[in-house]
Structure 1
Amino acid sequence: MTSTDSTMDERADVTIRCQDTPSVGVKFCDRFSYDRDSVHYAVEAWAPGLTARVNEAVAWVWDSDLAPFLEELAADYRGWDGERTWRTDDRALAVSAVFRSGGHVGLTWTLRPWTNAAGGWDASVTTWLEAGEQMSSFAADVRHFLAG
């Protein structure tokens, strides 16, 4: 299940919650841009006993960003074999997707702030949603969020 929240300045946040365990989720928020070539945003992930945040993931306009990856998953609503993956150039955010019988997609979100620092950490949560309309709606919400 996904939702889009708008604030007073019309900047939307996108939240995805696991349909199996609603206490697990991921939120895209705090979008900003320094130039016309990129969009910067924060990603928050949570589960019982876990809260994690990457303050600055970057989507480049000339690169394959998250929206096309999610749209491809949505287009393959009948399923696929194996795991599909995507990540930001700096590896601050990575997503792996699997398809399970019954028409559900599992998205494992891995956050890795400070990828080059000693003592860095990562955290992962998995959200499950329906491969059809829920996946398509989520992909559209992410595209809208990144487009600003």
Structure 2
Amino acid sequence: MTSADSDIDDKPGLTIHCQENPSVGVRFCDRFSFDTDSVHYAVELWAPGLTARANEVVAWIWDSDLAPFLEELAADYRGWDGERSWRTDDKDLMVSAVFRSGGHVGLTWTLRPWPSAAGGWSASVTTWLEGGEQMASLASDVRHFLAGAIDGQVD
């Protein structure tokens, strides 16, 4: 389940809760741009005993961003074999997707800021959503967040 929301500072954000365990989630927030070629944002992951944040994930306008990847998953609501994956150019955010019987999609969100730095870290959580409608809603919400158009609550 996804929701457009605002944090304490009233900045727009997007929260994704795992359908099977609401204490697991992902949040896109603190979106900003320096120029017309890119969008910068933070990604937060949480699960029992885990919190992680990457402060400056970058989406470039000329690359395939996260929204089309999610839209493709939503279009394949009947399922697929194996794992599909997407990552930012900097490899600081990666998403892998698997399809499970019953029409559920597992999205594993991995943060790895400074992937080539010695002593770097990574953290992952998996959110489960229904294929089709929930995936289409997530893709739309991500597209709106990256465009700076998140506003209000999505049920």
TM-score for both structures, normalised by structure 1: 0.96
SS in 1 for 2:15: strand
- Tell me the residue number matched to 2:85: 85
Matches within 5 A, 1:26-37: 26-37=26-37
Q: Distance in 1 between matches of 2:38 and 2:54?
A: 17
How far apart are 1:78 and its partner, in Å? 0.7
- Tell me the residue number matched to 1:48: 48
1:102 partner amino acid: G
Q: Which consecutive segments of 4 or more residues in structure 1 shift more than 4 A?
A: 7-11
Alignment pair present for 1:63 and 2:63: yes
- Tell me the residue number matched to 1:39: 39
Over the aligned positions, Cα root-mean-square deviation in angstroms equals 1.5
How far apart are 1:6 and its partner, in Å? 3.8
Alignment pair present for 1:4 and 2:4: yes
2:96 partner amino acid: S
Q: Distance in 1 between matches of 2:23 and 2:146?
A: 25
Q: Distance in 1 between matches of 2:32 and 2:7?
A: 14
Distance 1:9 1:143, change over 3 A: farther
SS in 1 for 2:141: helix
Q: Which runs of 5+ in 1 are unaligned?
A: none
Aligned positions, number: 148
Matches within 5 A, 1:131-146: 131-146=131-146
Q: After superposition, give the CA deviation of every residue in 1:62-100 in whole Å (9 maximum; x if it has no partner).
A: 100000000110111111111000000010000000000
Q: Distance in 2 between matches of 1:80 and 1:22?
A: 25
Q: Distance in 1 between matches of 2:119 and 2:86?
A: 24
Q: Distance in 2 between matches of 1:48 and 1:8?
A: 22
Aligned identity (percent) is 80
Q: Distance in 1 between matches of 2:122 and 2:9?
A: 32
SS in 1 for 2:5: strand
Q: Distance in 2 between matches of 1:104 and 1:84?
A: 14
SS in 2 for 1:90: coil
How far apart are 1:49 and its partner, in Å? 0.2
Q: Distance in 2 between matches of 1:66 and 1:93?
A: 10
Q: Distance in 2 between matches of 1:9 and 1:52?
A: 20
Q: After superposition, give the CA deviation of every residue in 1:16-54 in whole Å (9 maximum; x if it has no partner).
A: 010001100000000000000000000000000000001
1:45 partner amino acid: L
